[in-house]
Amino acid sequence: MSIPSHDKLKEFEFAVSAVARPAPGPSPPLPSPPLRAVSWDLSALEPPASTSRGPAFCPILAGRPQLLSGRKMSGLYAAAEETAGSRQALQEKANEYKENQKISHVSLRPLQATVLEKIPKVCLVPFSLSDYKPGEFKLPKSLLNKNSKDEVACKKCKKIEIQKTFTTVLIPKTKGTTSSKAESTLQKSHLDVPVANNKRQRLSTLDTAVLGVDMEGSPDGDSDEDTTLGLDDFSGLSPYERKRLKNISENANFFASLQLSESAARLREMITKRQPPESKRKKPKKRENGTGCRRSMRLQNVDPSGVSLPETPTQPTVVEDENPLLPPGPLEMTPENQDDNNELFKGFLQTWAEASKTSRSKNTEKELSSIKSYKASLGGMVISGDTVCKVTKGSVLSMALHPSEIRTLVAAGAKYGQVGLWDVTHQPKEDGVYVFQPHSQPVSCLYFSPANPAHILSLSYDGTLRCGDFSKAVFEEVYRNERSSFSSFDFLAEDASSLIVGHWDGSMSLVDRRTPGASYEKLISSSMRKIRTVHVHPVHRQYFITAGLSDVHLYDARRLNPKGSQPLISLTEHTKSIASAYFSPFTGNRVVTTCADCKLRIFDSSCMSSQIPLLTTIRHNTITGRWLTRFQAVWDPKQEDCVIVGSMAHPRQVEIFHETGKRVHSFLDGECLASVCSINAMHPTQYILAGGNSSGKIHVFMS
């Protein structure tokens, strides 16, 4: 770009006001949206009064100025100082131009305005910032009188009264970005510029430039000619800048011809006038004199003649209990699945009574057989289809085997308060099953009396303890407490005259069957929150053990206190809920517990001291889930060192473990045993095993 000449100056200082500094690299293509003009107030560019510089000539290019390097600027300043004339003459020129144009000062304050259908025209004005004060800025008359084209441009500038601003054409989408870049560029003009003599001097504020823009629209195409004429006059512009300004004017004309503003205005009117249709449904009008829904005379409580009837008193509805308690007192043995008047039932009762009489008396001197012979005897036990039968309707929760050696008699307590009796040796097997209903809730514990095997005692959640007498065909009531729920019981005396009963709320009851009535002798509170099982020591019958939620306690019946009893010994090795705890059958020197942490634990109870040591821990899956009865490991009454427990393993089986933790035998049969037997019982003298599942079916393994 060539430097324009001047009468007083040979070289001029170029100060470029960069509204938007272009990014490095090739120039991006011109955007197509409508042009917008943004005015900038140049009051912030006023230098201090003490600044003295030579005259400068500032070309302001519309939209894309070119910046000169610091080295070139310093050379221009040096040449201007050497060839500059009298500063007073320049000041007079500036004052003369100020008086002609009536310009007091300029300010830098962004004023935005949108101009459509206007052609920008650029006017380059020489000026000087040497020793001027705010409000004393002038333009020399030489530029105004230079030629006719300049006069036209200056006259047009006069028409809009150059209000101390310069206007630059911007793109609408980059308006905000350009404004921020412009402010940063103007602030950078205060940076220090090195001079030719390598002395650092602070450069004065960027020399003020006045850009006169003529925004006259010409519908007949005169604007294009005027713009071209104005551009040709400035010979200092490069071809690229001329082409760029020409493109800007052509784009402005093109967008003005599209009349986008008018179309947008019409669309706004259409949007405001359009209203969404009403989609609300009209509510039906209420009938003022309508009769409404038809109602029968019975519902209206009137007789056929229309006379109102007297209101009938409403009686409160009584909600029936799902499991009502059975009446107190003895209940007759009435089978639910058989006819009680036939000869079969009478023969059934007679068979159970005779089996009880012929049962061998208890042998106090029991000998422990060897493991080898014991395993051989277990290996001879088999199951068949004749020894599998459904006895009860619900899950089997308790089971007992009659001690008779002549006939195999099995008793099972069920979930819905039933007690089922099955004569396994009777054929057909369906005729040997009799089901009774002595309770209304689950039967959790079932024993044959050790003194009289013709008596079977059953305990239920409903708070009743009954004794079934086969000789009398009646269920007598031994103990009843409707305020509490029972969980387990055992015989304190060998003649079965006294009992210890455990409650679900953690309390215990002492019951004497010799006392008339169905009440307790003593009700004891304990430190346990729940009691699941109660078992009496087979030799020292004053001791009994209870299994609770997560603890096992050993009590002395002679030291029970109704207000609260403390256990003699507590087993604290368990980490989860405990299902059962039982003494070994002969000597009571071992205790086996079943815990929900998938472990069977065997303790040494031979010495009743302050602590019972743990002997063996057996890993065994005890997670039965919601629908299966919980496992309870019990001792084999013939073998004191072996326990019997159900299994979740496949194929389904019943396992026997030695007290050392070794597996002794597994009862399994793929055809006849296809379910989990949670509750198991072994015959006291014979090799007969009975297991009950959660559907009421009993599986019997026998030699």
| pLDDT given at position 610 | 79
CA distances, 88 to each of 8, 52, 84, 91, 145 (Å): 12, 12, 11, 5, 22
Which string of DSSP letters, residue by residue, matches 218-257?
Answer: -TTSHHHHHHHHHHHH-TTS-HHHHHHHHHHHHHHHHHHH
| pLDDT given at position 284 | 65
| pLDDT given at position 540 | 94
| Overall fold of domain 331-357+400-629 | Methylamine Dehydrogenase; Chain H (2.130.10)
pLDDT at residue 335 tops 50: yes
pLDDT at residue 505 tops 80: yes
- Segments making up each domain of the chain, as ranges: 331-357+400-629
pLDDT at residue 169 tops 70: no
Q: What's the whole-number average pLDDT of the chain? A: 74
* pLDDT band at residue 345 using 50, 70 and 90 as cut-offs: confident
Mean pLDDT over 378-405 rounds to: 94
Mean pLDDT over 420-435 rounds to: 90
DSSP 289: S
Q: Measured in whole angstroms, how far is the alpha carbon of residue 693 from the centre of its chain?
A: 38
Residues 6+ apart with CB under 8 A from 579: 532, 533, 547, 594, 595, 596, 622, 630, 631, 632
Q: Are strands 443-448 and 688-692 parallel, antiparallel or unpaired?
A: unpaired
CA distances, 86 to each of 53, 82, 83, 378, 486 (Å): 12, 11, 10, 134, 124
* pLDDT band at residue 316 using 50, 70 and 90 as cut-offs: low
User: For residues 632 and 35, which has the higher predicted lDDT (pLDDT)?
Assistant: 632
pLDDT in tens, 622-660: 999 989 999 999 999 999 999 999 999 999 999 999 999
Put simply, whether the predicted model's pTM sits higher than 0.85 gets the answer no
Mean pLDDT over 129-154 rounds to: 46
Burial of 450 (0-12, 13-18, 19+ CB in 10 A): middle
pLDDT at residue 452 tops 50: yes
Q: Name the amino acid, one letter, at 507.
A: S
Residue with token string 């690229």: 240
| pLDDT given at position 267 | 87
pLDDT over 90 for what percent of the chain? 43
pLDDT in tens, 87-109: 666 667 667 766 665 555 444 44
Please check whether residue 80 is in contact with residue 187, taking contact to mean a CB–CB distance below 8 angstroms. Answer: no
| pLDDT given at position 426 | 87
Ranges of beta strands (E only) in 48-199 are: 56-58, 111-113, 125-127, 165-170, 193-194
| pLDDT given at position 465 | 96
pLDDT at residue 688 tops 60: yes
| pLDDT given at position 367 | 65
